[in-house]
Chain A
Amino acid sequence: MFAKINTLHRRDPLHHNFWNRIHLDPLLLTLLLTLISLGLVVLASSDAQDPGLLHRQIIRISLALFLMVVIAQIPVRYYTLAVPWLYAIGILLLIVVLIIGDISNGAQSWLNLGIVRFQPSEIMKLTLPMLMAYYFSQKQLPCSFMEACVGLVLIAIPCLLIAKQPDLGTTTMIAASGCFVLFLAGLRWRYIIGALICVGALIPILWNVMHDYQRGRVLAFLNPESDPLGKGYQIIQSKIAIGSGGLFGKGWMNGTQSHLEFLPEAHTDFVFAVLGEEFGLFGALLMLLLYACIVLRGLYISLSAQDTFSRLLAGSLILTFCFYAFINIGMVMGLMPVVGVPLPLISYGGTSVVTLLAGFGILMSIQTHRKLLAD
Chain B
Amino acid sequence: MRNPYFKDYQSESHLFKGRVLVASIVIILFFIVLGIRLYYLQVEQFTQYSTLSEQNRVTLLAIAPNRGLIYDRNGVLLVENVPAYGLHLIPEKVKNIGETLDAINAIVPLSAEDRQNFYQQLKYRRRFEGVPLKVNLDEALAAKFSVHSYQFPGVKIAAELIRHYPYEAIFSHAIGYVGRINEQEMTNIDKASYSATQYIGKTGIEQFYEKELHGSPGFQHAETDVHGHIIRILKSEPPTHGNDLYLTLDSQLQLASVAAMEGKRGVIIAIEPATGGVLAFVSQPGFDPNLFVQGIGQDIYKQMLDSWERPLFNRILRGQYPPASTVKPMVALQGLQLGFTTPNYSISDPGFYRLPNVKRPYRDWRKQGHGYVNLHKAIVQSCDTYFYNLAHKMGIDPITDIYQQFGLGSPTGIDLIGELSGVVPGKEWKRANLNESWYPGETLITAIGQGFALATPLQLAHMATVLANQGERIKPHLVQHLQKQNGEIIQNTPEKLTPVTQKNPEHWALIQKSIHDVIAEPGGTAYRLSRNTPYTIAGKTGTAQVFTLGQNEEYDANILDEHLRDHALFIGYAPVESPQIALAIILENNTGAADVAKQVFDNYLLRTNS
Q: Is the CB of A242 within 8 A of B17?
A: no
Query: How many Å from the CB of B3 to the closest CB on chain A?
Result: 9
A141-B12, A241-B53 as given contacts; A281 in contact with B42, CB under 8 Å: yes
| Chain A neighbourhood of B15, CB < 8 A | 141-142, 186
Kindly identify which residue among B20, B24, B46 contacts A184, using a CB–CB cutoff of 8 Å: B20
A242-B41, A243-B41 as given contacts; A256 in contact with B53, CB under 8 Å: yes
A138-B4, A256-B53, A256-B56 as given contacts; A335 in contact with B38, CB under 8 Å: no
Query: How many Å from the CB of B25 to the closest CB on chain A?
Result: 11
Query: Does residue B34 face the partner (Cβ distance < 8 Å to A)?
Result: yes
Q: Is the CB of B57 within 8 A of A299?
A: no
Query: Does residue B27 face the partner (Cβ distance < 8 Å to A)?
Result: yes
Q: Is the CB of A257 within 8 A of B46?
A: no
Query: Does residue A322 face the partner (Cβ distance < 8 Å to B)?
Result: yes
| Chain B neighbourhood of A66, CB < 8 A | none
A288-B38, A315-B16 as given contacts; A246 in contact with B56, CB under 8 Å: no
Query: Does residue B159 face the partner (Cβ distance < 8 Å to A)?
Result: no
Q: Is the CB of A261 within 8 A of B49?
A: no
Query: Does residue A292 face the partner (Cβ distance < 8 Å to B)?
Result: yes
Closest chain B residue to A255, Cβ basis:
B53
Kindly identify which residue among A237, A281, A330, A335 contacts B39, using a CB–CB cutoff of 8 Å: A281
Query: Does residue B8 face the partner (Cβ distance < 8 Å to A)?
Result: yes
Query: Does residue B566 face the partner (Cβ distance < 8 Å to A)?
Result: no
| Chain B neighbourhood of A227, CB < 8 A | none
Q: Is the CB of B223 within 8 A of A260?
A: yes
Query: Does residue B599 face the partner (Cβ distance < 8 Å to A)?
Result: no
Query: Does residue B227 face the partner (Cβ distance < 8 Å to A)?
Result: yes
| Chain A neighbourhood of B50, CB < 8 A | 243-244, 246
Query: How many Å from the CB of A265 to the closest CB on chain B?
Result: 13
Query: How many Å from the CB of A274 to the closest CB on chain B?
Result: 13
Query: Does residue B192 face the partner (Cβ distance < 8 Å to A)?
Result: no
What separation, in Å, do the CA atoms of A256 and B232 have in the docked complex?
13
Q: Is the CB of B225 within 8 A of A284?
A: no
What separation, in Å, do the CA atoms of A138 and B45 have in the docked complex?
53
| Residues of chain A in range 3-20 having any CB-CB distance to chain B below 8 Å | none
Closest chain A residue to B41, Cβ basis:
A243
What separation, in Å, do the CA atoms of A142 and B19 have in the docked complex?
11
A239-B41, A243-B46, A260-B224 as given contacts; A326 in contact with B4, CB under 8 Å: no
A242-B49, A244-B50 as given contacts; A303 in contact with B16, CB under 8 Å: yes
What separation, in Å, do the CA atoms of A303 and B15 have in the docked complex?
11
Closest chain A residue to B24, Cβ basis:
A299
Q: Is the CB of A288 within 8 A of B35?
A: yes
Query: Does residue A118 face the partner (Cβ distance < 8 Å to B)?
Result: no
Kindly identify which residue among A137, A184, A299, A326 contacts B34, using a CB–CB cutoff of 8 Å: A326
Query: How many Å from the CB of A193 to the closest CB on chain B?
Result: 13
What separation, in Å, do the CA atoms of A276 and B40 have in the docked complex?
12
> Main secondary structure on chain B at its contact with chain A?
helix
Query: How many Å from the CB of A305 to the closest CB on chain B?
Result: 9
| Residues of chain A in range 164-222 having any CB-CB distance to chain B below 8 Å | 183-184, 186
What separation, in Å, do the CA atoms of A85 and B446 have in the docked complex?
120
Query: Does residue B52 face the partner (Cβ distance < 8 Å to A)?
Result: yes
Query: Does residue A28 face the partner (Cβ distance < 8 Å to B)?
Result: no
Query: How many Å from the CB of A330 to the closest CB on chain B?
Result: 7
Query: Does residue B48 face the partner (Cβ distance < 8 Å to A)?
Result: yes
A141-B15, A257-B53, A260-B56 as given contacts; A276 in contact with B24, CB under 8 Å: no
Query: Does residue A144 face the partner (Cβ distance < 8 Å to B)?
Result: no
Query: How many Å from the CB of A187 to the closest CB on chain B?
Result: 9
| Chain A neighbourhood of B11, CB < 8 A | 141
Query: Does residue A362 face the partner (Cβ distance < 8 Å to B)?
Result: no
What separation, in Å, do the CA atoms of A257 and B7 have in the docked complex?
57
A141-B15, A243-B42 as given contacts; A308 in contact with B4, CB under 8 Å: yes
Query: Does residue B296 face the partner (Cβ distance < 8 Å to A)?
Result: no
Q: Is the CB of A260 within 8 A of B231?
A: yes
Number of residues from A at the complex interface, CB < 8 A: 50
Q: Is the CB of A284 within 8 A of B43?
A: no
A142-B15, A285-B38 as given contacts; A244 in contact with B53, CB under 8 Å: yes
Q: Is the CB of A326 within 8 A of B38?
A: no
Query: Does residue A40 face the partner (Cβ distance < 8 Å to B)?
Result: no
What separation, in Å, do the CA atoms of A292 and B25 have in the docked complex?
12
Q: Is the CB of A307 within 8 A of B4?
A: yes
Query: How many Å from the CB of B224 to the closest CB on chain A?
Result: 7
| Chain B neighbourhood of A295, CB < 8 A | 27
What separation, in Å, do the CA atoms of A33 and B27 have in the docked complex?
22
Q: Is the CB of B23 within 8 A of A333?
A: no
| Chain A neighbourhood of B27, CB < 8 A | 292, 295-296, 299, 319, 322
Query: Does residue B28 face the partner (Cβ distance < 8 Å to A)?
Result: yes
Query: Does residue B360 face the partner (Cβ distance < 8 Å to A)?
Result: no
What separation, in Å, do the CA atoms of A296 and B16 have in the docked complex?
15
The CB with the most chain A CB atoms within 10 A, among B28, B38, B57, is that of B38
What separation, in Å, do the CA atoms of A140 and B20 have in the docked complex?
18
A261-B227, A299-B23 as given contacts; A246 in contact with B16, CB under 8 Å: no
A138-B2, A246-B46, A261-B225 as given contacts; A184 in contact with B41, CB under 8 Å: no
Kindly identify which residue among B7, B31, B37 contacts A140, using a CB–CB cutoff of 8 Å: B7
A262-B226, A299-B20 as given contacts; A288 in contact with B1, CB under 8 Å: no
Kindly identify which residue among A183, A285, A322 contacts B35, using a CB–CB cutoff of 8 Å: A285
What separation, in Å, do the CA atoms of A184 and B28 have in the docked complex?
17
What separation, in Å, do the CA atoms of A260 and B223 have in the docked complex?
9
A256-B57, A288-B38, A333-B37 as given contacts; A240 in contact with B52, CB under 8 Å: yes
Query: Does residue A329 face the partner (Cβ distance < 8 Å to B)?
Result: yes
Kindly identify which residue among A184, A241, A242, A333 contacts B19, using a CB–CB cutoff of 8 Å: A184
Query: Does residue B124 face the partner (Cβ distance < 8 Å to A)?
Result: no
| Chain A neighbourhood of B119, CB < 8 A | none
18 additional contacts (CB under 8 A) given A183-B19, A240-B49, A288-B35? A137-B4, A139-B2, A237-B56, A243-B49, A243-B53, A244-B53, A246-B46, A256-B57, A260-B223, A260-B231, A285-B35, A288-B38, A291-B31, A299-B24, A307-B4, A308-B4, A329-B34, A335-B34
Please give the residue numbers on chain B whose beta carbons come within 8 Å of chain A beta carbons, in ascending order: 1-2, 4, 7-8, 11-12, 15-17, 19-20, 23-24, 27-28, 30-31, 33-35, 37-39, 41-43, 45-46, 48-50, 52-53, 56-57, 223-227, 231
22 A–B contacts from the bound complex (CB under 8 Å)? A140-B2, A140-B8, A184-B19, A184-B20, A186-B15, A186-B16, A237-B56, A240-B53, A243-B46, A246-B42, A256-B223, A260-B56, A260-B226, A260-B231, A262-B57, A262-B226, A281-B39, A285-B35, A292-B28, A322-B27, A333-B34, A333-B38
The 7 closest A-B pairs by CB, nearest first: A243-B49, A244-B53, A260-B225, A261-B226, A243-B41, A281-B42, A244-B49
